[in-house]
C-alpha cells in the first residue's frame, strides 16, 4: 500500500490505494503530454493569486521559477514521473512542493477539475492550429499535381460509372474544398475551446476573491478585441466535454475525406484505370507476388478513418450517461483525443507525401475521356438548344445510345440518318458535341469545370494555400 500522505488528497484516508488501483487509475502515462499547458496554467493562476493578494509577489516568482525548472527537466526527459501521483497535475505540483515552499499555496482556489479542463482547452487551441498546418501541406501537394497536369481531362464518375468529362484539376479541387472545410472546422473548434475554465473550482467556484478575467487574459482566452472569455457556469465548466467531441468529430470527418480521396487513388492506380502512378515511397510490395505494388498508404488512410470514428464514438458514449458534474470516467476522455490528434496529423502528412510523388498517366486519362458516351448529356443539351424539351431530348439520346450499342459502334460514329431517324431536331452538325474542347468551354458557370472557371479556381487556391 502506498502511504496516503503521498497524494494531495491523503488527509482523510488511513490507507493508500492498492497497487492494482494505482495502475488502474493513473493517467500520468498519457496525460503527461499536457505538462507544458499545465505549467502555463499554473503560472497564470499563481500570477492571478498574487494580483489579488492571496499570495505575495515573492511567492509567485518562486513558483514561476520552480515551474520553469520543472518544464526544462520535462523537456530534457529528466523528470521522473510517478504513477502513485496519479496524473500530470499532481506530479508537477508534488515536484514543485519539494523544491519551493510557496508551492503549498499554488492550488488555492483551484481544483484538478477546472485545471484539467484548462489544460485541455489550451491543448485544443494548439492542436487545431497544428493540424490545420498539416492539412495545408496536403492541400498544397494536391494543388501542385493539378498545376502539373492542367491540360489533363478525365471522366468524372457517378455510381462509379463514367458520367461526364472534367479537368483533372476540377476533380482535385473537389478534394481541396473538402480539406478546406476541415480546416475551417478545426478553427471553429479552437474558437469553442477559447473560454477559460479556471476559477470554476471543483464544481462551485471558490469563496476566495479571485479574478477569473485576469487569469483568462494571462492564458490568451480572449476575444478578437482582447476581452477575456471566461466560462459562465462553474458546473458546466467541469462537466462539459463538448470541445473534446467536436475535436474528435473534426478529426473523424477529416478522416472520412482522406479515406474518400484514398479510395479514388486506389482505384485510379489499379490496372483497370491506371490514371495515376503512386510513388514507390508510399507503396509496398507483396512477399509472395513479385509484380505487386500495393497502394498501402491509401489503404491505411482508409483504415485510419475507422479509428478516428471510433475515437469520436468513445467520447460520445463516455459522456452520455454521466450525471453532472465531474466524474472520474472523464479521465478516459484523453486517450481518444490524443490518438485522434496523432493519427490525423500523420494522415495529413501521408496524404501530402502520396500526392507529392504521384504522377498522372496522361495517355490512359486521354483514352478514358475519349469515350463519346461521356457527352451524351451534351447531345441532349444540343437538342434543348434546338427547342426540344429536355425530357424528350433525354429520351431521344437514350434511344440513340441504344442503337449505337446494338450496332456496336461508338456513339459519335453512328450514321447521321440513324440519329436523324430518332429525332428530326438532330442536324448534320450533331457530331460537334463530341469536341471535348467545346464541351468544356460550354461549362462556364460558377463551380463548373469550364476553362474560365478552372483558371479562376487555380488563382483562388494559390492565394488560399500560399
Whichever of 93 and 246 has its CB closer to ligand ARG, that residue is 93
**φ, ψ for residue 329, nearest 5 deg:** -45, -35
Q: Select 173 or 326, whichever has its Cβ closest to ligand ARG.
A: 326
Q: How far is the CB of 116 from ligand ARG (least distance, A)?
A: 4
Report the nearest approach of ligand ARG to the CB of residue 20 (Å).
18
Q: Which is closer to ligand ARG, CB of 116 or CB of 454?
A: 116
Work out whether 87 is an interface residue with ligand ARG (CB under 6 A): yes
- Dist. CA 378–CA 400, nearest whole Å: 13
- Grid coordinates given for 216: 483568462
Instruction: Output the nine-digit C-alpha cell for 286.
Output: 507483396
Q: Rule CB under 6 A: say whether 314 interacts with ligand ARG.
A: no
Residue reference for cell 500520468: 28
113 binds ligand ARG (CB under 6 A): yes
Does the footprint of ligand ARG cover residue 318 (CB under 6 A)?
Answer: no
The answer to whether 331 contacts ligand ARG (rule: CB under 6 A) is yes
In angstroms, what is the minimal distance from the CB of 34 to ligand ARG?
Answer: 9
Residues 204-233 that bind ligand ARG (CB under 6 A): none
Q: Which is nearer to ligand ARG, 114 or 381 (CB)?
A: 114
Q: What is the closest distance, in whole angstroms, from the C-beta atom of residue 355 to ligand ARG in the complex?
A: 38
- Least separation, in Å, of the C-beta of 326 and ligand ARG? 6
Residue 34 CB partners (closer than 8 Å, separation 6+) = 88, 116, 119, 120, 123
Are the C-beta atoms of 425 and 388 separated by less than 8 Å? Answer: yes
Minimum separation from the CB atom of position 236 to ligand ARG (A): 16
The residue from 167, 273, 326, 382 that contacts ligand ARG (CB under 6 A) is 326
Stretch that binds ligand ARG, among 55-63, 134-142, 221-229, 327-335 (CB under 6 A): 327-335
Give the range of 227-235, 292-300, 326-334, 416-424 binding ligand ARG by CB under 6 A.
Answer: 326-334
116 makes contact with ligand ARG (CB under 6 A): yes
| Cβ atoms < 10 Å from Cβ of 271 | 5
Among residues 25, 159, 270, 394, which one is catalytic? 159
User: What whole-number distance in Å separates Cα of residue 230 and Cα of residue 237?
Assistant: 10
Which residue's CB is nearer to ligand ARG, number 220 or number 335?
335
Measured distance CA(454)–CA(231) in Å, rounded:
45
**Is residue 286 annotated as a catalytic residue, yes or no?**
yes
Residue 395: which residues within 8 A CB-CB, separation 6 or more? none
CB of 311 to ligand ARG, least distance (A): 16
Please work out the total of residues on this chain that contact ligand ARG, with binding judged by CB under 6 A. 10
- What does the per-residue mask of binding to ligand ARG show for 25-44, with x meaning CB under 6 A? --x---x-------------
Among 5, 29, 270, 286, the one annotated catalytic: 286
Q: Judged by CB under 6 A, which stretch of 111-119, 374-382, 390-398, 401-409 contacts ligand ARG?
A: 111-119
Query: By CB under 6 A, is residue 330 in contact with ligand ARG?
Result: yes
Q: How many CB atoms lie within 10 A of CB 72?
A: 11
Out of 105, 112, 212, 394, the residue judged to bind ligand ARG by CB under 6 A: 112
- Segment interacting with ligand ARG, rule: CB under 6 A, options 40-48, 112-120, 149-157, 193-201: 112-120
Residue 292, class by beta-carbon neighbours within 10 Å (0-12 exposed, 13-18 middle, 19+ buried)?
Answer: exposed
44 CB burial (10 A radius; 0-12, 13-18, 19+):
buried
46 is catalytic: no
Asked if 374 is part of the footprint of ligand ARG (rule: CB under 6 A), the reply reads no
Q: Which CB, 159 or 328, lies closer to ligand ARG?
A: 328
Q: Which residues are catalytic?
A: 159, 286
Residues that bind ligand ARG (CB under 6 A): 27, 31, 87, 112-113, 116, 326, 328, 330-331
Amino acid at each position: 500500500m502506498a502511504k496516503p500522505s503521498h497524494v494531495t488528497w491523503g488527509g482523510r484516508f488511513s490507507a493508500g490505494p492498492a497497487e492494482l488501483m494505482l495502475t488502474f487509475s493513473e493517467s500520468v502515462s498519457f496525460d503527461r503530454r499536457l505538462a507544458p499547458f499545465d505549467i502555463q496554467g499554473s503560472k497564470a493562476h499563481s500570477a492571478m493569486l498574487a494580483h489579488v493578494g492571496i499570495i505575495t509577489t515573492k511567492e509567485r516568482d518562486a513558483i514561476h521559477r520552480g515551474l520553469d525548472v520543472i518544464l526544462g527537466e520535462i523537456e530534457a526527459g529528466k523528470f521522473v514521473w510517478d504513477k502513485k501521483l496519479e496524473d500530470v497535475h499532481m506530479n508537477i505540483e508534488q515536484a514543485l512542493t519539494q523544491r519551493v515552499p510557496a508551492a503549498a499555496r499554488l492550488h488555492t482556489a483551484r481544483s484538478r477539475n477546472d485545471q484539467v479542463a484548462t489544460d485541455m482547452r489550451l491543448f485544443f487551441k494548439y492542436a487545431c492550429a497544428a493540424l490545420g498546418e498539416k492539412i495545408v501541406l496536403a492541400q498544397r501537394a494536391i494543388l501542385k499535381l493539378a498545376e502539373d497536369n492542367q491540360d489533363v481531362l478525365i471522366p468524372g464518375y457517378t455510381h462509379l460509372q463514367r458520367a461526364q468529362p472534367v479537368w483533372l484539376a476540377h476533380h482535385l479541387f473537389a478534394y481541396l474544398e473538402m480539406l478546406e472545410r476541415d480546416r475551417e472546422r478545426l478553427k471553429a473548434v479552437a474558437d469553442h475551446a477559447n473560454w477559460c475554465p479556471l476559477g470554476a473550482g471543483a464544481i462551485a467556484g471558490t469563496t476566495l476573491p479571485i479574478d477569473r478575467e485576469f487569469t483568462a487574459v494571462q492564458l490568451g482566452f480572449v476575444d478578437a478585441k482582447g476581452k477575456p472569455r471566461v466560462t459562465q457556469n462553474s458546473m458546466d465548466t467541469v462537466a462539459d466535454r463538448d470541445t473534446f467531441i467536436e475535436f474528435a468529430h473534426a478529426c473523424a470527418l477529416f478522416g472520412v475525406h482522406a479515406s474518400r480521396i484514398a479510395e479514388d487513388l486506389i482505384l485510379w492506380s489499379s490496372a483497370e484505370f491506371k490514371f495515376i502512378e503512386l510513388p514507390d515511397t508510399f507503396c509496398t510490395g507483396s512477399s509472395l507476388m513479385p509484380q505487386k505494388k500495393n497502394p498501402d498508404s491509401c489503404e491505411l488512410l482508409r483504415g485510419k478513418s475507422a479509428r478516428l470514428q471510433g475515437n469520436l464514438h468513445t467520447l460520445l458514449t463516455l459522456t452520455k450517461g454521466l450525471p453532472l458534474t465531474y466524474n472520474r470516467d472523464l479521465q478516459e476522455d484523453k486517450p481518444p483525443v490524443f490518438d485522434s490528434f496523432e493519427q490525423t496529423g500523420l494522415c495529413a502528412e501521408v496524404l501530402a507525401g502520396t500526392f507529392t510523388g504521384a504522377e498522372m498517366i496522361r495517355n490512359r486519362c486521354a483514352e478514358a475521356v475519349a469515350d463519346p458516351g461521356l457527352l451524351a448529356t451534351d447531345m441532349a443539351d444540343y437538342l434543348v438548344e434546338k427547342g426540344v424539351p429536355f425530357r424528350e431530348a433525354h429520351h431521344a439520346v437514350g434511344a440513340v445510345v441504344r442503337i449505337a450499342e446494338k450496332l456496336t459502334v461508338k456513339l459519335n460514329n453512328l450514321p447521321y440518318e440513324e440519329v436523324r431517324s430518332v429525332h428530326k431536331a438532330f442536324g448534320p452538325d450533331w457530331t460537334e458535341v463530341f469536341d471535348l474542347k467545346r464541351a468544356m468551354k460550354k461549362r462556364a458557370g460558377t463551380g463548373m469545370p469550364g476553362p474560365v472557371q478552372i483558371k479562376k479556381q487555380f488563382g483562388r487556391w494559390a492565394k488560399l494555400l500560399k
